[in-house]
Amino acid sequence: MRTADFDFDLPEALIAQAPARPRDAARMLVVRPGGLTDAGVRDLPGLLRPGDVMVVNDTRVIPARLHARRGAARIEVMLNRAEGGGVWHALIRNARRLRDGDVIAIEGAESCTAKVLGAPEGGAALLDFGPDPAALAAALEQAGEIPLPPYIARPEGPRPEDAADYQAIFAARPGAVAAPTASLHFTPALLDAISARGVARATVTLHVGAGTFLPLRGDDPRAHRLHAEWGEVTEEAAATIAAARAAGGRVVAIGTTALRLLESAADEDGTIRPFRGLTDLFLLPGHRFRTADLLMTNFHLPKSTLFMLVCAFAGTARMKAAYAHAVARGYRFYSYGDASLLERAA
């Protein structure tokens, strides 16, 4: 297995710079063992069955990109994961300028400072913002930026509408620095239609980190390690999923983040247990999926961990054919792009 095996050509014009309006007007490619079907997100209720359970991620994106100073040095900070007690794991541009014990000041929120804990490694460091979470939250709202992926071109910075566009309808628990993008397609009308179809819904939380969408750098995907992300499957969510499966319903993961968390919380027999903690599970072809039967997800970057995940779930040859079809038919790619609905490979 080589990283190059997961490369494909994508015209830049197909990289979506804004979402469909309304959100559920996006297209959706249905990928089954028997072939491909061009559909739309609004067709989702008819593709589900009464008794199925839809698993959604309720993480909320925070304005996690900050500009800071250490003396005259300018530093860009991307908060990545809360470690507790006011300490955050952060990805830092110009991290070489920082040393253990340095204090940086956040531009635009001058009363907010952070102390560097330990020497930065690999462009990342631990930052201590102090024990008052309300003060940090206020500073983020005042000075932080929504951390749009780099392929969404915003030379002048995020647009005012991005704050709402890059937030899913399920968003409730702050902590993500990237959106669970499959969830961006949902509207109240679509949720009403899914509920009327007799489909249950279970809510889980995975605070998506900054490394999720990055392409791999090495030649061997198996040598890659994901940044750990915090997630939770409550007893209520686990029970809802178990009840649906016991009654013959299918588990429909809305997004790769929900799927990764379900696989992290599953026993060998596929029973999903309550879970609370960190996961760095990297799903590659050869993984035996134990939880979801269907996966709704956007179209992902070449050579990314997420394209590898969908290949693992639905089959590499099938997904390469699906992506070639999507390119030929002009589907819109990435976070603000169109969707796909994948049936799990046998």
Task: Report the pLDDT value the prediction gives residue 221, as an integer from 0 to 100.
Answer: 78
Per-residue CA distances from 10 to 56, 216, 299 (Å): 28, 17, 11
Mean pLDDT score across all residues of the chain: 93
If pLDDT is split at 50, 70 and 90, which confidence band does 227 have? confident
Task: Report the pLDDT value the prediction gives residue 212, as an integer from 0 to 100.
Answer: 67
**Average pLDDT of span 117-146:** 90
Q: b vs e for 50-82, b when ≥16 Cβ sit within 10 Å of the residue's Cβ?
A: ebbbbbbbbbbbbbbbbebebeeeebebbbbbb
Lowest mean pLDDT segment, chosen from 115-119, 234-238, 253-257: 115-119
**Average pLDDT of span 130-146:** 90
Q: Would the pLDDT of 230 be above 80?
A: yes
**Residues above pLDDT 70, as percent of the chain:** 98
Q: Would the pLDDT of 71 be above 90?
A: no
Instruction: Round to whole Å and give the CA distance between 256 and 59.
Output: 13
**Residues above pLDDT 90, as percent of the chain:** 75
Q: Would the pLDDT of 55 be above 70?
A: yes
Instruction: Round to whole Å and give the CA distance between 325 and 160.
Output: 34
**268-324: per-residue pLDDT in tens?**
999 999 999 999 888 889 999 999 999 999 999 999 889 999 999 999 999 999 999
Lowest mean pLDDT segment, chosen from 143-152, 168-177, 323-332: 143-152
Q: Would the pLDDT of 222 be above 90?
A: no
**Average pLDDT of span 16-33:** 96
More confident residue, 341 or 156: 341
Whether residue 302 contacts residue 328, with contact meaning beta carbons closer than 8 Å, is answered with: no
